[in-house]
Structures are given as C-alpha cells and as structure tokens.
Amino acid sequence: MKTSGNTILLTGGGTGIGRELARRWHDAGNVVIVTGRRLGSLEETARDRQNIHAFAVDVADPTAIAAFARDILSRFPALNVLVNNAGIMPLEDVSVSRDLSSAEACVTTNLLGPIRMTDALIEHLRGQGDAAIVNVSSGLAFVPLVGAAVYSATKAAIHSWTDSLRFALKDVVEVIELAPPAVQTELTPGQSTRGGYMPLDAFIDEVMGLFVRQPTPELIGVERLAFLRNAEAEGRYEQTFTTLNGSAH
C-alpha cells in the first residue's frame, strides 16, 4: 500500500483506532473519507483537517451501504483503499438462553458489514492502480475471549475471509489484515483507561511504522499481538486460553 497519495475510505472513523488512523493517514498526505453512525464524532475527526471528509453510514444496513458506495464513487472517483474498521464488542454469557439481539448485531456489523462494503466497492477497486483493502480483525481472532464469544468468532471469520480475499485478488488488490491486541479505546465501557491495555497513541505509532514498510506486511501486528497470534504455533494455545479466560469452573 502506498503511504501517501491514496484516497482512503475508512469505516468507524469517529472514535478510537479509526479516528487516529484517519488523522495519521491524512497528515501523511492522503485524502480520507470517514464513516460511522454518529456524524458529530466524524466531524470532530475531520476538524482542522481539510482532506478528511465525514459521512454518516450504518454498516449494518445493506441498502445504505449500496447507496453510499454509489454516491462516494461519484464524489471520489480516485478512491483506491477501503479500510473495514467499524466494529462492536458486546459482552455476553453464552451458557444461558438470552436475548440474541446484540449477538446478531455483532455478526451483522463486524462480519456482514465488511463483506457488504467490500462487495459494493470491489469492481471499482479492481480498476484502480495501487488498490488495497485493510480488514481490522483482533488478537481474539486467534484465541477467543469467552465473555465476548460471538465477537471473537466474527474476528476469526474476518481473519479467514481476509486470507481468501488476498489469494483471490492477488496482483489486483493488495489485501492487508490489521489485528490489534487490547488497546485503550471505548470499544467496551471503561476500556480506554483499563490498565494492561495498550495506550492508543503507542499502538498507532507502532502500526504506522509497519504500514510504511514496503512491501506492506500482510498482517499488521504490533509486538503485543504475538501473545495471542503465536499461541497455537508455539504450542501454548491451551495455556494462553486459560490465561485469557481463567480456569474452568
């Protein structure tokens, strides 16, 4: 992926990791389009940055995605990078029968959202020079957190789908996975100040250092990701699962 001169569409750009990526990419000389459900927070991301453009789009709404894709390509025909970052992380107890609305919203937002957004833009991206798709997964794609079981499953699916996309789009569109470890954002309540989580600035610094490497790594993984990412390959999956989730009752 080029480091400047891109026109980047980034979902979930009004807060957290998405906001900071948008600002860094903008400041490095890219045009960045940020989307999310709350226009106010997107406009805050864009404040004092002429080449960040804010649009409210709900990635859980397939009709809205299709209409948005048509509109954005007419406004920004140079669009060449899609970053599927928007996500939600409901905490849940999967051992009991429950209202599934938040689990279903998690699948729709985290998995169907990227699939639909990519589908709406893929024919355009195939025709662009230097096209790239960046999918944001998670360390929990590699070892699940039981208290966020459906979330972890959506991220494992994003990892798998990204591998397939990369193979299918070889030499046509570059496909990159960005897998954050636990980072201080408001993805879950109170997380932005939780001890042991990576400070957002330090995370973004390390990520941007990886994005400037040429060729861009297929997996953008900061050093802290290795604990989860390499657990299985290093023969410590069960031990890591227990460390993450505590002992069985």
Residues that bind ligand NAP (CB under 6 A): 11-12, 14-18, 36-38, 41, 58-60, 85-89, 109, 136, 138, 180, 182-183, 185-187
Other Cβ atoms less than 10 A from the Cβ of 189: the count is 8
Whether 36 and 86 have beta carbons less than 8 Å apart is answered as yes
Which is closer to ligand NAP, CB of 7 or CB of 41?
A: 41
Which is closer to ligand NAP, CB of 31 or CB of 136?
A: 136
Which is closer to ligand NAP, CB of 103 or CB of 128?
A: 103
Which is closer to ligand NAP, CB of 1 or CB of 128?
A: 1
Q: Which of 25, 68, 142, 151 is catalytic?
A: 151
Other Cβ atoms less than 10 A from the Cβ of 180: the count is 26
Q: How far is the CB of 152 from ligand NAP (least distance, A)?
A: 10
Q: How far is the CB of 135 from ligand NAP (least distance, A)?
A: 9
Residue showing the smallest CB distance to ligand NAP in the complex: 16
- For residue 159, give both structure tokens: 């990892």
Q: Has 237 been annotated as catalytic? A: no
Q: How far is the CB of 34 from ligand NAP (least distance, A)?
A: 9
Q: How far apart are CA 244 and CA 246, in angstroms?
A: 6
Closest CA to 59 of 126, 108, 3: 108
Whether 118 and 11 have beta carbons less than 8 Å apart is answered as no
- For residue 79, give both structure tokens: 């669009």
At residue 118's C-alpha, the angle toward residues 117 and 124, to 5°, is 110
3-state secondary structure of 178: strand
Residue with token string 């009709």: 63
Q: How far is the CB of 75 from ligand NAP (least distance, A)?
A: 19
Q: Which residues are catalytic?
A: 151
